[in-house]
Structure 1
Amino acid sequence: MIAKRRAHHKIKHQPPILNDDKVCEYLFQHPDFFIRHAQQIDKLRIPHPVRGVVSLPEWQMTRQRNKIKQLENEIQSLVQHATINERLFSQLMTLQLALLKANSFSELLEHLNDWGRSLGLLGAYLYLFEDKWQLTAPSNFQHLSLSTEKFDFIRIRHLQYGFQYLGQLSPAELTLLIPEQGYVGSIALSLLGDFGDLGVLVFASRDPHHYQPGQGTVLLEKLGQILPVLINRWIERKPLC
């Protein structure tokens, strides 16, 4: 009985086991610790991947420099995005004004194509889904008619639930959308209409890296909304069944 009490007494008075959480908790509860032990702080050595070890003040200064560098990079990125957005807005306004001035559907297509080429692209390609627009004779734009069934393999592979795609297409996909061009490196594609069911707009570039997944699609989105309204001035929509 006496032995058990002694064993219990020993266990009861064992010092607490330190771990990271307890050390952090102590420092938070005693914020004056570093003031009271300033001389000891200078003697601390922190492992460093390049220099082996550094003092705590050096380590803190390095962290501050890294934070400042990170903030500088974030500010630079914001400035770049603002510049890009300003340029995109200017480009969209220029194109929108040109499209609004078009006196015919042929002129609209010409403005769209000229605008694409002014940006160094191969051009712009517009297709209207045949089940949504009146494109049969006597229409002069039957060559713009596109079957939704034929387009579905592109939609399933690249768009799924999205309305825009930037990147590369397979030879079979390019044959469907841009048959007359010899080499196309990358494309930007946008579905037309609020539900993406009215047609397709494609911009093509010879540069395989010009359009890449992850790039902004704001301009494509706006064109996808504007074009159906303008097209309806010259081509009628099919009645809903």
Structure 2
Amino acid sequence: MTSDAQVIDEQAVAEYLRDHRDFFAHNLWLLPDLYLPHEAGGAISLVERQVAMLRAQNETLKTQLEELLAVARENDRLNTQLHQLTLLLMECRGLEGLMTLITSRLRRDYSADVAALHLMAPPRDESLAGRDEFVRDLAALREPFQHLLSTGRPFCGRLREEQRALLFGEQADAVGSGVVLPLGKEGGIGLLAIGSGDTHRFVPGGDVVFLTRMAQVIAAALGPHLRLTEA
């Protein structure tokens, strides 16, 4: 039978124990006589319940620690890749070599199937103007990527058919997911695209901070070789 007086007494006991956390330390004789319902039936002692709770908490903390360590290892790997790419870009003197290095390196580092560079600014070396990397129809490329260019934020995920065709040409149908990086302010230098046949390889919510830094490094390497429009 539960009465108002009993409820009040239970509340008072609970508050007392909360305010006197060392109560059982001074009354150890009570512990063996205290039992709590168990999910599997029967009863367990208070000490057993505390041990079970601590084990559960320990498993949760262990899982969280493993997740943090995995993130730290991935961040370390990405930073190492970016550092190595930066060194290679610094060593590369000509635009032709830079363009080849960028696409080949990103295919390797990202285990991607295709990487494509689309430059919207003409080269200072006019002999390179005929290369496929230089965009002929700027409006046609800009229109499907207006939001990306205006925000300057990298894109990760599945691309629309029109976008895939513009970025990857004949290989568009084989691309299930991709990353698109705007290079320079509002994409003034161009776009860099990485594609994979795996639809789950690049998903929304990728490491945008890392991708933004990589885009900045690549843009800084390409800029001196291009005729950029002054803001």
Q: TM-score range by the shorter chain?
A: 0.7 to 0.9
TM-score (norm 1): 0.74
TM-score (norm 2): 0.77
Does 2:62 correspond to 1:72?
yes
CA contact (8 A) 2:103 2:117 kept: no
Match of residue 188 from structure 1 = 179
Given candidates 100, 103, 119, the residue that maps to 1:110 is 100
Which protein has the bigger helix share? 2
**CA offset at residue 140 of structure 1?**
3.1
- In 2, the alpha carbon distance for the partners of 1:236 and 1:75 equals 49
Given candidates 82, 92, 99, the residue that maps to 1:92 is 82
- In 1, the alpha carbon distance for the partners of 2:206 and 2:221 equals 26
- In 1, the alpha carbon distance for the partners of 2:81 and 2:51 equals 45
Match of residue 115 from structure 2 = 124
Match of residue 176 from structure 1 = 166
Gaps of 5+ in 1: 1-13
Residues 77 and 168 (structure 1), Cα distance of their counterparts in 2 relative to 1, 3 Å cut: same
**Which string of whole-angstrom CA distances, capped at 9 and with x for unpartnered residues, describes residues 106-137 of structure 1?**
21110012212323312322223x4xx34699
- In 2, the alpha carbon distance for the partners of 1:42 and 1:198 equals 75
**Which string of whole-angstrom CA distances, capped at 9 and with x for unpartnered residues, describes residues 129-170 of structure 1?**
x4xx346995335753364675454454x7985612222212
- In 2, the alpha carbon distance for the partners of 1:143 and 1:31 equals 71
- In 2, the alpha carbon distance for the partners of 1:212 and 1:190 equals 14
- In 2, the alpha carbon distance for the partners of 1:143 and 1:19 equals 80
Aligned length: 223
Aligned-pair identity in percent equals: 26
| One-letter amino acid of the structure 1 residue matched with residue 211 of structure 2 | L
CA contact (8 A) 1:135 1:142 kept: no
Query: Larger RCO: Structure 1 or Structure 2 (Cα < 8 Å, ≥ 6 residues apart)?
Result: 2
